[in-house]
Amino acid sequence: MNAITSASDERLVRVPLGERAYDILIGPGLIVRAGKEIAARLMGRRAAIITDENVAPLYLDALFASLHEAGIQPSKLVLPAGEKTKSFEHLMAVCDAVLTARVERNDAVIALGGGVIGDLAGFAAGIVRRGVRFVQVPTSLLSQVDSSVGGKTGINTHHGKNLVGVFHQPDLVLADTDVLNTLSEREFRAGYAEVAKYGLIDKPDFFAWLEANWKEVFSGGAARIEAIAASCQAKSDVVVADERENGPRALLNLGHTFGHALEAATAYDSRRLVHGEGVSIGMVLAHEFSSRLNLASPDDAKRVEAHLKMVGLPTRMGDIPGELPPVEVLMDAIAQDKKVKSGKLTFILTRGIGQSFVADDVPTSEVLSFLREKHPQ
C-alpha cells in the first residue's frame, strides 16, 4: 500500500527501470486525458491505436479525440476479440498497420484493450523498426494489474501460449478505472485472481486486507484504486528485481503452470475457462501441492480456496464445465510450458500464505500422482 498519491482519486506508480523507467497512472478519466499525458512524455507526434471489436465501440472515439486535441495524429486498427488474435497472422497485420501509419521510433503504438491486445500490440511495438514507443491503455482488471506492467509481450503458437515474443517495456501505462464499470462480473473476478496472487506471493498482509475488503474492491471506489495500485507496485517491485526473468520474476507465475495447462486443455475456449480462472484453480493447486510435499500446512490451501470461492472464482478442476483431457495430456502441456529448464520441471511452490518460492527440480512423478488425485475423472 505504498503507491505514491498524485491527484485526489489518482495513484502514480513509477517503475524505476533506468533508461526504460515509466509511469503507471491509476484512476478515473484517464482515457479522456490520454492525449495530454502522452504528449507530455513522448516526442513523437504519431500514434497507431490497436484495439478489438469489443473495446472499440466503448472507448476508441474518446481516445482518438483526446490524441487529436493534444496534437498527435492517430490511426486505428480494430481486431477480432479473443485469445486467438494472439497469432502470427494478426502480428503481421499489426506490423503492417504501424508501418502504414508511418510510425517512427519516437512515435507510439497504443494498446487499447485487455491482455490479448496489450501482448500483441506490445510485440509489434517491440519489433517494428526494432522498437518504437509503446503506451498501454488496459481496459480489463487483469491487464491493469498484471499484463500491462513489466514488458512481457507475445503471441501463441500451436506449441503453446506466449512462446514467441519480446521484452519491450511500455513508456506509459494509463489504467483508467472508469472502464472497470463496464466489465462483466466474471471478467472482473478473473482479474481479481491476479490481485490476490500478489498477496499470496510475498504480501500476507495484503492478502488479509483483501479477505477483509474484497466487497469494497468489487463495488468500486477508493478500495478498488488502492488494490490496483498495490498490485501494480507489487508487480513493479518484482520486475525491477529481475526484468528478463532469470530468477525471482518467475514468482509471478504462481498458479500459472497449472493454469496454463488447464487453458491449453480447454483449447483456450473462454466459455469454459478464462486466464484468471485458470490462475485461481492453479493457485489452489499450487498450495495443495506444496502441502502434499510437506512444505506448507493444508490449512493455508484451505484458506486460499475459501477466499477465492467466496468472491465466486472456480477453485477445482471439476469446476470447469465439460470434460478435461487425461492427466498425461495435462503433463505434456506442463512440460512444453516455457518454465522448463534443461528438462527439469520448474514450479512456484509455497511455505504458506505470502511465502512462495521458485523450485526448479520438481520430479515429474510427484506432479503426475498429485494430478491423478485431483483430476475429476
- Name the pairing type of β-strands 172-176 and 160-164: unpaired
Number of residues that bind its own copies (CB under 8 A): 36
- Residue 84 labelled as part of a binding site: no
Of 81-110, which residues contact its own copies (CB under 8 A)? 88, 91-92, 95-96, 99-100, 102, 104-106
223 is a site residue for its own copies (CB under 8 A): no
Q: Please indicate whether residue 246 is annotated as part of the active site.
A: no
256 is a site residue for its own copies (CB under 8 A): no
Residues making up the chain, counted from first to last:
377
364 is a site residue for its own copies (CB under 8 A): no
Task: Find the catalytic residue in 11, 189, 203, 249.
Answer: 249
DSSP assignment of 180-215: GGGS-HHHHHHHHHHHHHHHHHH-HHHHHHHHHHHH
Of 283-322, which residues contact its own copies (CB under 8 A)? none
Q: Please indicate whether residue 235 is annotated as part of the active site.
A: yes
Task: Give, in order, the Cα–Cα distances in Å from 55 to each of 25, 82, 89, 138, 239.
Answer: 20, 11, 20, 10, 28
C-alpha cell, 113: 484493450
What is the helix (H) or strand (E) element at residue 66, kind and residue range? helix 61-69
CB of 351 within 8 A of CB of 175? no
Task: Find the catalytic residue in 76, 86, 133, 152.
Answer: 152
Pick the closer one to its own copies by CB: 75 or 139: 75
Alpha-carbon span 141 to 298, nearest angstrom: 30
Alpha-carbon span 206 to 196, nearest angstrom: 8
Pick the closer one to its own copies by CB: 3 or 149: 149
340 is a site residue for its own copies (CB under 8 A): yes
Smallest distance, its own copies to C-beta of residue 3, A: 28
Task: List binding-site positions.
Answer: 115-119, 139-140, 152, 161, 194, 256, 275
Q: What are the residue numbers of the active site?
A: 130, 152, 194, 235, 245, 249, 253, 256, 260, 275
| Residue list for the binding site for NAD(+) | 115-119, 139-140, 152, 161
